[in-house]
């Protein structure tokens, strides 16, 4: 566990098997130091992002974020995993979303919010990085999002 402002070189010096970018408050576009660190980590270590981590990964991969009119707060937000077509009931707490029109072709949208069709998950087609906008660690269904952590362990095993 390191503070958010830890430079990528210091993270890599710890020789992590993987990096999890956690949630936190902020306008993701304003956290430029984190976006730059993530760019430096891409391709060097598997990365999983949650909530703000998702938004920062979106920015590091070339996308932009925008402020939602009302935000997503609380539980019971339906999200579809586009890779399996399964719907999860999620817990959320954010005011920004990744703009899908700004993502490069090598970034795949993996999850969509079924209430407003905002991007809820991304992965890169060749670099070991993926993220979700919601909080899998706080899922209303206690095991609904366990597959995300298994997916991350698989990415680490391939590195």
Neighbours of 2 (CB within 10 A): 11
What's the CA gap between 12 and 9, in Å, rounded? 5
54, 77, 111, 135: the active-site residue:
135
d(CA 1, CA 20): 9
Rounded-to-integer distance, Cα 63 and Cα 1, Å: 26
Decide if 135 is catalytic: yes
Q: Please compute, for residue 43, the number of CA atoms within 13 A of its CA located in the half-sphere on the CB side.
A: 6
Chain centroid to Cα 147, Å, comes to: 15
Active site residue 137: yes
73 is catalytic: no
Residue of 36, 75, 108, 137 marked active site: 137
Given the residues 51, 94, 111, 120, the one annotated as active site: 51
Residues with active-site annotation: 51, 135, 137
């Amino acid at each position: 566990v390191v503070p958010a402002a830890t430079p990528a070189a210091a993270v890599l010096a710890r020789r992590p098997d993987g990096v999890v970018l956690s949630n936190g408050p902020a306008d993701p576009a304003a956290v430029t130091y984190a976006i730059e660190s993530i760019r430096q980590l891409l391709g060097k270590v598997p990365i999983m992002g949650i909530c703000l981590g998702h938004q920062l990964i979106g920015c590091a991969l070339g996308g932009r974020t925008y402020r939602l009119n009302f935000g997503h707060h609380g539980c019971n937000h339906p999200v579809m995993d586009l890779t399996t077509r399964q719907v999860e009931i999620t817990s959320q707490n954010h005011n920004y979303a990744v703009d899908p029109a700004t993502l490069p072709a090598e970034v795949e949208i993996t999850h969509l919010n079924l209430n407003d069709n905002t991007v809820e998950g991304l992965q890169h087609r060749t670099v070991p990085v993926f993220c979700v906008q919601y909080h899998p660690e706080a899922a209303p269904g206690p095991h609904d999002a366990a597959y995300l952590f298994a997916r991350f362990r698989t990415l680490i095993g391939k590195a």
